[in-house]
Amino acid sequence: MNNFTLVDHPLIKKDLTILRDTNTSTELFRSAVYRISNVLCVEVSKKFLLTQKEIETPLEKTIGFELSKQIVLIPILRAGLGMVNGFLELIPNAKVGHIGLQRNEETLEPIEYYFKTPQELEDSEVILLDPMLATGGSAVEAINYVKKRGVKNLYFVCIVAAPTGIEKMQKHHPDVKIFAAALDRQLNDKGYILPGLGDAGDRTFGTL
């Protein structure tokens, strides 16, 4: 699959087991999402460009590095919020925007209800966050919104992806790099991923 990266890591597999378990508490679910987001952040940022800068250690001058571009995190509300802090821990100066898309449970199509992002997106590395890439409808719609702002460097990061969602993303946005912690089997007739982990938003915020 072009532009799709499955992040295969022992720590991710351990925490995915926690997320999939129906008996996992809200507290443990949140912490597992946070830790998986940490590992995904490391993988996504591998190709970020760096700029050299001269600094002084306690003993002498040396060359260090800083990120060349502003990093902007855009969680897709509300489930994507659970991934933000895992990224901010490693990129504390990242800016954060928000996109609100709600799925119509009958048509499975996304409905926008909120959109607010930093202004300077054109020259930024923009990372869209959503735990689940199921039908791909919300992801495609969110990318449409940010591309209208001139974004050129765009990543989509999820925890669990389904083949249907990846195919739709690659059809509509083949330039966007997708990172996932798991690639699951299929969708059920209600558009939920199997085996999946249920509704990530409800399980993150305890609204089951």
Q: Can 130 be counted among the known catalytic residues?
A: no
List, in sequence order, every residue forming a beta bridge with 129; answer none if it has no partner: 75, 157
Q: Can 203 be counted among the known catalytic residues?
A: no
In whole angstroms, give the CA distance from residue 166 to residue 149: 23
Q: Can 185 be counted among the known catalytic residues?
A: no
The alpha carbons of the chain give a radius of gyration, in whole angstroms, of 17
Q: Locate the DSSP E strands across 47-109.
A: 50-56, 61-67, 71-77, 95-96, 98-103
- Among 30, 103, 149, 164, the active-site one is 103
Please work out, in degrees rounded to the nearest 5, the angle formed at the alpha carbon of residue 12 by the alpha carbons of 11 and 15: 90
Nearest to 33 by CA among 49, 99, 41: 41
- Among 8, 107, 175, 207, the active-site one is 107
- Among 26, 35, 164, 199, the active-site one is 199
Q: Can 8 be counted among the known catalytic residues?
A: no
In whole angstroms, give the CA distance from residue 177 to residue 48: 13
- Among 30, 35, 149, 202, the active-site one is 202
How many helices and strands (H and E) does the chain possess?
6, 13
Write down the H helix ranges in the chain: 10-20, 26-44, 81-90, 137-147, 163-172, 200-205
Which residues are catalytic, by number? 103, 107, 199, 202
